[in-house]
Amino acid sequence: MDNELNVTYITFDGHVEVQKYRYLYFVIMFTAYILIFCSNSTIVGIIVINKALHEPMYIFIAALLINSVLFSTAIYPKLLIDFLSEKQIISYSACLFQWFIYYTLCVSEFFLLAVMAYDRYVSICKPLQYPTIMRKKAVYMFLILAWTLPACQISGGTLLNANRKLCNFSLKGIICNSTVQKLQCGSSTVLNIYGLISFASDIPLSLLFILFTYTRIFIIIYRSSREVRRKAAQTCLPHLLVLINFSCLSTYDVLLPRVEIDFPKTVRLVMSLQVLLYHPLFNPIIYGLKMKEIYKHLQRLFCKMG
């Protein structure tokens, strides 16, 4: 637990050392973090302040954006410190903590997307029952479960990893994610089984549930009027875009330690930046531009500022 990991940072060309451009990287990542924090927080603030947006759909959007802020806050401060340091090192216990936060929030995102799909399903397919099903107590219960269930599940994997012996002390990448397993001496049957069960009960089931709900939604709106299809597309399309984007990034992260392919350093860097930079900014942009009510309040806010 007291071992130190030499974190190998990846440059764009795979050859130039990060120390040469560390101040430039610091400015870029610091700017990115400020943008992520401000863009997500702005939309969350709009939803909190405007009572007209205190509906389940917007509450779930706010939760998803809070998830992005927490995710970035767990990753960016350590990255920024590393860019200003001569050596990029992290203790194994701190690395496992980052690993725990990283995957807890990633699984929470899938759970939140599943709850959002269910909310749209009830709203479109069972509009008369919507006020009864999606009551405030139900919404709060969904949110609590979306954050506590992944935390309990990932904590088991964290404890199993903590007791594993390390044979490698150089971590390929810029964060403690799935590549942590490559530091350990061989594979653990118990850890693999636990990880497989956790993965199967989280991601595939969430995706199948989302697929089922949206299939039902598309069947209903296909038989409806053009106006109903337009309104359904306005609320469902942003969720689907976020889901597809996040699913692709998660698939890469899950497969990375399990395939015996030495990915080029540039590919590793680009994919890492996708998770750290692109996705946390993708959510507020999609919901800010595609959700009509949120976009309207954003316009008013910018007009007042102007």
Q: Which residues pair with 184 in a beta bridge?
A: 166
Q: Where are the domains of the chain?
A: 4-305
What stretch of H or E contains 170? strand 170-172
Q: What region, left, alpha or beta, does residue 91 occupy, with left being phi > 0 and alpha being psi -120 to 50 degrees?
A: beta
Q: Residues 277, 32: contact at Cβ < 8 Å?
A: yes
Please give the CATH number for the structural domain made up of 4-305. Answer: 1.20.1070.10
Instruction: Look up residue 278 and give its DSSP letter.
Output: I
How much is the pLDDT for 141?
A: 94
How much is the pLDDT for 259?
A: 56
Q: Residues 276, 98: contact at Cβ < 8 Å?
A: no
pLDDT tens-digit profile, the chain (306 residues): 444 554 444 332 333 345 566 788 788 889 999 999 999 999 999 999 988 888 998 999 999 999 999 989 988 888 888 778 777 777 778 888 888 998 899 889 889 989 998 998 898 888 889 999 999 999 999 999 999 999 988 888 888 777 777 776 777 767 777 777 777 776 667 777 777 777 777 778 888 888 888 888 888 887 777 777 777 777 777 777 777 777 777 776 666 655 555 666 666 666 666 777 777 888 888 877 777 788 888 888 778 776
Q: Where do the H-state alpha helices sit in the chain?
A: 22-49, 56-83, 92-125, 130-133, 136-162, 189-222, 226-255, 265-273, 279-290, 292-305
Cβ partners under 8 Å of residue 111, min gap 6: 145, 146, 149, 150, 202, 206
d(CA 238, CA 242): 6
How much is the pLDDT for 208?
A: 87
Q: Residues 167, 195: contact at Cβ < 8 Å?
A: no
How much is the pLDDT for 218?
A: 84
Q: Residues 220, 123: contact at Cβ < 8 Å?
A: no
d(CA 243, CA 279): 11
Residue 164's closest CA among 95, 82, 244? 95
